[in-house]
Structure 1
Amino acid sequence: MSLGVAPEANAAAACYQGELCLYQHANYTGSVFKIRAGQNIPNFGYKTFTNGQPLNDNVSSVRNLTNLVPLLYEHQNYQGFRIAIGSQTSIPDLTNYKPLHEVINFNDKASSVSW
């Protein structure tokens, strides 16, 4: 008898065109929270991943399969530091996010999103 890891723990949940997918762990693993293009969410505090774990301050990787550029904010109500997720862009690890010439650690910091 062999014990395996649940599929959710090691396989990326599907993310489809027109969705912004926020993943609980790096490399698009763990649970996922999907957002339709253009859907603003001012407070992640009442949202959960598909496994029931809280979304707020728990996002580690991102896939943006939209033609829009959402902004992830450090605090609720679109406050604090923010990062832009380019259209049709994937970021496998928010610990080492490098939008320009500097490395930013935005791992486990997202609390709201606007478009």
Structure 2
Amino acid sequence: MAALAGNLVALPTEAQAAWKCPDGYFCMYENSNYTGSVAVIPEVNEKMSGYTGGIANLRNAHFTNGKIVDDAVSSVVNNTSQNIFFYSDHDYNSSSGENPYVWGPTVIRPHQGWPTMNALENDNIGSISVGQKHYCGHVNFHGWKCGAWISDRN
């Protein structure tokens, strides 16, 4: 807290202040409008050691505050030159029994940011791939292979 002209003003902590995602990186934020804790995961950031082009289980990833990223992302920035694909479930799967209408991954195009996620995406990302979509190999209740359709905001 800092005092200004006799008033107490609460300054945001580092975790609450908006952190700008650097050029060439993909960043996920715990809260909307690029606020809260951030996660910059090596597996999906080709400029980082540990890049693999995807992460099949976000239970193994953490925000800077230590919280698990799985089903906890509310805004994202893709400052890379590649498409980034989100899957609602682990292992690049998006035909969850919780929401059977999600037929495939959602894609965020290069150099886009989403200050808010839609109702299907908010706090509902379990795995991520870079550059190309992965196919989970099973068929959902509509008879479509998951990953066969892509939801694109453009």
Deviation for aligned residue 1:3: 5.7
Aligned partner of 1:15 among 12, 15, 21: 21
C-alpha deviation, 1:46, in angstroms: 1.4
Match 1:26 to one of 29, 32, 39: 32
Q: Is the 8 A contact 2:78 2:112 kept in 1?
A: yes
Match of 2:82 in 1: 68
Q: Quick check: 2:92–2:128 contact (8 Å CA) kept in 1?
A: yes
- Report the equivalent of 2:123: 108
The CA RMSD measured in Å over matched residues stands at 1.6
Matched AA of 1:84: V
Aligned to 2:99: none
Q: Which has the higher contact order (CA 8 A, sep 6+)?
A: 1
Q: Does the CA contact (< 8 Å) of 2:15 and 2:65 recur in 1?
A: no
**Unmatched 5+ stretches in structure 1:** 96-103
2:57 pairs with one of 43, 54, 58: 43
Segments ≥4 residues shifted beyond 4 Å: none
Relative to total residues, which structure has the larger helix share, 1 or 2?
1
Q: Does 1:94 align with 2:108?
A: no
Deviation of 1:7 after TM superposition, in Å, equals 3.3
Q: Give the number of the structure whose residues are more often strand, by fraction.
A: 1
TM-score, normalised by the number of residues in structure 2: 0.64
What is the distance in 2 between the residues matched to 1:75 and 1:105? 12
How many corresponding residue pairs? Answer: 106
Give aligned-pair identity as a percent: 32
